[in-house]
Amino acid sequence: MLDHKQTEELTDHEAELYDRQLRLWGLDSQKRLRAAKILLIGLDGFGAEIAKNIILAGVKSVTFLDHRNATELDRCSQFFIPKEDIGKNKAEASLPRAQNLNPMVNVNADLDKVDDKPDEYFGQFDIVCAMHCTITQLKRINRACRNQKVKFFAGDVWGGLGYVFIDLQEHEYVEDVSKSKKVTIPEGGEPVGKEKIETITISERRTETFVPFEFILNVPKTSLSKEEEIYYMMLILLNYREKYGEDPLPNERGCENLKNEASAIIKKYELGDKINNLVESDLYGQLSPVCSIVGGIVAQEIIKAASQKHAPLNNLFTFNPDSSYGIILKLGY
C-alpha cells in the first residue's frame, strides 16, 4: 500500500532532519517510513507516547481516532493535552502539540467512534494500532486489516502493567547479518600475502508469518512460561472491558466485578494465589514511565514494520511492574 513517496528522493531539509536515522537504517528504509500512513485508535498516555515516537521518526501521516473527552486521569501521562483542555475531545486536544513535534508529518484528528467506522475505513492506512478497545472491537478491526493487507497492532497499559500484540500477516524485511570472510593481504608487491579473517555485513531478505489477535486469547497453559502472570492479567482486564465497556476506576478498587473476572481466569488456569498481588495492585489510569516503556516498544515495532528493516517482534510483549521487565511470547501457532 505504500505510495509513490517511496521512490521520491528526500529533500535537503528531510536529509538534515533525519540524518541520524539515515545512518541507522539507510535511505530506502527512511523512504518507506516516509510513505507510511498510521492510524492510532485511543489517545490515552500510551497512545500519546506511540504518537510522539513515530511522528519524530518521520512517517507520512498519523490520524488520531478517539471520541472520548479528556479526564483528570489523563493528567497521569497524556502530555499532549494541556491542563486547560481537560473535558475536551482527546484527539482534538492532542493535535497542536503533536503537530509541533514534526511539521513534515500530517497529523489529523477524527472524533468519531470506532464502531461507527466501516471496515473500508481501515484500508486507507498502512498500519493500524488499536488501544482501549474491547475484544470484539479488536477482533473486528484485526479482521478488516487482514482483509485489506493492513498491518495491525494492539496494546494497553493498565496502571503499571501493559501488553503489545502484533499481526503483520506475512511480512518481508531486511536483516543485516555479520559473516566472516577470508581475505589475502599482499606483502612487498608479491601477489600472494598473508590471509586474515575479516567480518563483513550483508543484508538478507527474510519473511515472517503472524496470526490474528483471536488466536492468542485463552491459549493452553502449557504454551505459557511459568513467569507469565501479565498474560493472565491481560485476559482479566480485557474480559472486564468486554463485559462492562470500560476499565475499572480508582474508586472501584477491589470491586466485585473485577474479582469475578479474576476468579474465572484463576480457576481456568489453576493459578491459586499466584496473581493475587497483581489483581490487588494499581490497575487504574496509566503510569507515565510504563507508557514510555511499552509505548516505546510499539513505536519501535511500527517503525520496523513500515521501514521493513530488522526482525519484528512476533507476536506478544508483556510488561510486569513487579519485576520491571518484559517478556516476548509467540502464541497461537
Report whether 330 contacts 316 (CB < 8 A).
yes
User: What pLDDT was estimated at residue 12?
Assistant: 66
Q: What is the pTM of this model?
A: 0.88
Query: Could you tell me if 136 and 114 are in contact, meaning their C-beta atoms sit under 8 angstroms apart?
Result: no
Dump pLDDT digits (tens) for 207-234.
Answer: 999 999 999 999 999 888 777 899 999 9
- Is residue 29 over pLDDT 90? no
Strands 161-167 and 316-320: antiparallel
Segment 191-206 mean pLDDT: 75
For the chain, the domains span 4-169+286-329, 173-207, 214-279
Using an 8 Å Cβ cutoff, are 2 and 36 in contact?
A: yes
- 3-class DSSP assignment, residue 141: helix
Q: CA-CA distance, 266 to 280, in Å (whole number)?
A: 14
Amino acid at 294: V
pLDDT tens digits for 132-179?
Answer: 999 999 999 999 999 999 999 999 999 999 999 999 999 999 888 877
144 against 253, higher pLDDT: 144
Question: Fold for domain 4-169+286-329?
Answer: Rossmann fold (3.40.50)
Over residues 284-297, the pLDDT tens digits come to 889 999 999 999 99
Contact call for residues 175 and 308 (beta carbons, < 8 A): no
